[in-house]
Structure 1
Amino acid sequence: MGHKLDDKFLNSKATMLRMDYEAERNGKQAQWYGAAVTGAGQEMDFYPTITPTPTVFCKTFVFDMLRGLNNSLHHDGAWVCLMLNPVADESNIQAFEADYQKYVFFWMDEDGDIHVPVEIEDKIANILAAGPDVWIEQCELAWLAWQELNRTLDARPNETFKRAMGERPAS
Structure 2
Amino acid sequence: MTTAYEDILNAFNDMKKEGCKINKNAVATRANRNIANLSKPKEEWVKLKEDIEEAESEWLRKRTDENKDAIIKSLKSKLQLTKKQLAKEKQNNNVDPVAYEKEINSLLVELQEMYREIDRLKAKVADLNNQLLHSTQDHEIRVDVETGEIIKGIF
Calculate the TM-score normalised by the size of structure 2: 0.20
Higher relative CO (CA 8 A, sep ≥ 6), structure 1 or 2? 1
Q: Which has the higher strand share?
A: 1
Calculate the TM-score normalised by the size of structure 1: 0.19
